[in-house]
Structure 1
Amino acid sequence: MKRHSLIALLDSYKPESGEEEKMYFETINFVRKNPDCFKRTLLEGHITASGWVLSADKNSVLLMHHFKLNRWFQPGGHCDGDPDVESVARKEVWEETGINNLILARKGIFDIDIHPIPANKETPEHLHYDIRFAYQSDEKQEIAINSESRDVQWIPISEVRHFNNSESIMRMVRKTISL
């Protein structure tokens, strides 16, 4: 069963109390009831993976300005059937930023978030059950911008709120302090 590895990761994760804890339990229930949870063809929603990429000194984070959503986010994307969410997060970071020398800043899941994705001409509104991993990388690596982003930048942690002050992003900023 493809979901076993994700269920094991989820079982070993301790979310923040409150909103993240609620999303954590919703994610576990979603994964357990949907054998196709890794496929974007599951129209109600699907598992995605993303990387919170920190500089070596943990004072900056790599954010991309998402082309379609017109907001700053951490790089990430669809699993497209791949149950290895950590591998998917690494691949998405590389595809969206050009950064490929990543070291896990903490073993296991760093954060979980569920967020709605607006409808477009190809898909109805649906949910992304995002499994997030924290990495560290050298800020001197060359950044590449692809068609999914308008810009990619290293942002000082103290300034992230000026780029995206959503609770989802600010929760990861708070967690960065304890890494």
Structure 2
Amino acid sequence: MTSVSPGTALRADAMRMLDAWRAPDPQQDRLRREFLRHLESHPDGMWRECAAGHLTASTIVLDATATRVLLTLHRKIGGWLQLGGHCEPGDATVADAALREATEESGIAGLRLSRPWPVQLDRHAVRCHRQGSWHLDVQYAAVAPPGARHRISEESADLRWFPPDALPESADDVVRRLVAKALRF
């Protein structure tokens, strides 16, 4: 009997998910195909160690009434972002990685993904390696339970709820599109 390493199973899940995901527009479909090509040509493409780029998972968290979104003031970047980060060997699926990261960074127990597939994809340059690298970010939406209380993690300088129509100035266009799409679901 052969065993499958967690990384191989996670990569296979990512490829299945990306293959099955119906992108909402041509630009998102181009990114979907780009992410798939990356994973096909980089067996280590799920991990931070892949200097050519690696999949990451993030989540926009909505409150139970969908009238506020939780953003983190990222300590290194200095801007307000959705919660998220790198995949880890214990993650069974990309969706699991997104939910784990959101839970770790928010301190909120009982978060649930609003659906098992991504809201959108984003590719952005990062400094994970001396020569630079890329995050191929798979972005989900989650809902916090009623009365949820957040806790600032060591990765955040701040963590706050914002009305979707009053996001902070430093929230970039990717965050703004993610919020708008998450609220439409």
TM-score by length of 1: 0.89
Q: Secondary structure at the match of 1:160?
A: coil
Partner of 1:112 in structure 2? Answer: 121
| Greater CA drift, 14-23 or 51-60 | 14-23
- Rounded Cα–Cα distance in structure 2 between residues aligned with 1:57 and 1:12: 30
CA distance in 1, matches of 2:167, 2:33: 27
- For 1:29 and 1:125, the matched residues in 2 are separated by 20
Q: What is the number of residues matched between the two proteins? A: 176
**Which residue of 2 is the match for residue 160 of structure 1?**
167
Task: Give 1:62's match in structure 2, choosing from 48, 70, 74.
Answer: 70
1:53 and 1:135 in contact (8 A); partners too: yes
- The runs of 5 or more residues in structure 2 that have no matched partner are 1-7
Deviation at 1:170, TM superposition (A): 2.0
Aligned partner of 1:173: which letter? V
Equivalent of 2:94 in 71, 74, 85: 85
Alpha-carbon shift at residue 78 of structure 1 (Å): 0.6
Moved segments of 4+, more than 4 Å:
none
1:16-165 matches, within 5 Å, as 16-81=24-89, 82=91, 84-118=93-127, 123-138=130-145, 140-160=147-167, 162-164=169-171
Among all aligned residue pairs of Structure 1 and Structure 2, give the percentage whose two residues are the same amino acid.
Answer: 29
5+ residue gaps, structure 1: none
d(CA) in 1 for partners of 2:103, 2:119: 18
Question: What TM-score comes out, normalization by structure 2 length?
Answer: 0.86
- State how far apart, in whole Å, the 2-side matches of 1:14 and 1:161 are: 30
Aligned mate of 1:173, from 158, 164, 179: 179
Residues 124-143 of structure 1, C-alpha deviation per residue, up to 9 Å, x if partnerless?
Answer: 31100111111111362221
Shift in Å, 1:175: 0.9
